[in-house]
Amino acid sequence: MEEIEIRYSDRNTSPDVINSILSIEKSVYEPKYCGTFESVKSRYDKFNEMFVLAYDNNKLAGYLCYFPISEKLHDDILDTDSLHDDDISPDDIVHLDIPEADANNSGESRKYHFYLISVAVSPEYHKKGIGKLLMDGLFEKLREFEKVGILTDDILASTVSKDGEKTVKKYGFKKKSNYPEATGYQVYQKNGLAMYSDVYVMIPVTGKLYEKYLDTDATVGKYIQLINENFNNEC
């Protein structure tokens, strides 16, 4: 495997990419969670940037799918116990408006709801860190949006596996649903983009250096708690 390259879909992305995405989807998801070319293409036509793509050379190894959603769909996802997946129509996807700058070169920013609908990696590339690269790629794209005034209010994510739950939890998503295991899925939410920054707690004890990523919203009390836990458990 060569170095994985992260790319983003745009208006020039070939329809063949959608076929490759569907092929990976069918290899990892149950049939009831798989979309059709027509439905996926219709959403792509509404929001061309909906895919984060991981390539090994020119072979698609995995993908992430997301899009900005309407207030109505946002509330439906949070308030109902039915899975929102391939039934999502282009009308549920909203257009991202770049604020028009005024004489002072400052436009009025707007917040959007985003929906992370799927992350899938081809079986031959499992356990190679590609899921993390895709999630990092999503947050990088959302930060680029913020630079031009397109802000993230929150991100919803539906999971259909324990691995999916583990992934979103690592990025600060909080569980919003409590559906029975029989439903096969759960809903998670993340407010804004604050996640993990390059802030470390370093404990120079017995010649060891401890480094921990900390949530940007962490309080001093949490810092102290983390220091104590590391001191008691590792020193």
At 80 the pLDDT is 80
At 86 the pLDDT is 83
At 4 the pLDDT is 95
> Which tens digits make up the pLDDT trace of 118-143?
999 999 999 999 999 999 999 999 99
Nearest CA to 136 out of 195, 212, 60, 95 is that of: 195
The answer to whether 41 touches 15, Cβ cutoff 8 Å, is yes
> Which tens digits make up the pLDDT trace of 18-52?
999 999 999 998 888 889 999 999 999 999 999 99
> Which tens digits make up the pLDDT trace of 177-209?
877 665 668 899 999 887 543 333 333 444 333
Q: How confident is the model at residue 99 (pLDDT cuts 50, 70, 90)?
A: confident
Residue count of the chain: 235
Q: Is the pLDDT of residue 150 over 90?
A: yes
Q: Which amino acid is at 164?
A: G
At 183 the pLDDT is 64
At 83 the pLDDT is 78
At 157 the pLDDT is 94
Cα–Cα distance measured from residue 76 to residue 60, given in angstroms and rounded to the nearest whole number:
32
Q: Is the pLDDT of residue 102 over 80?
A: no
Cβ neighbours for 134, distance < 8 A, ≥ 6 positions apart: 6, 52, 54, 62, 63, 64, 119, 121
Q: How confident is the model at residue 214 (pLDDT cuts 50, 70, 90)?
A: very low
Cβ neighbours for 181, distance < 8 A, ≥ 6 positions apart: none
Percentage of the residues of the chain whose pLDDT score is greater than 90: 58
At 223 the pLDDT is 44
Provide the Cα torsion 116, 142, 22, 125; round to 10°.
Answer: -100
Q: Is the pLDDT of residue 101 over 80?
A: no
Mean residue pLDDT across the chain: 82
pTM of the model: 0.79
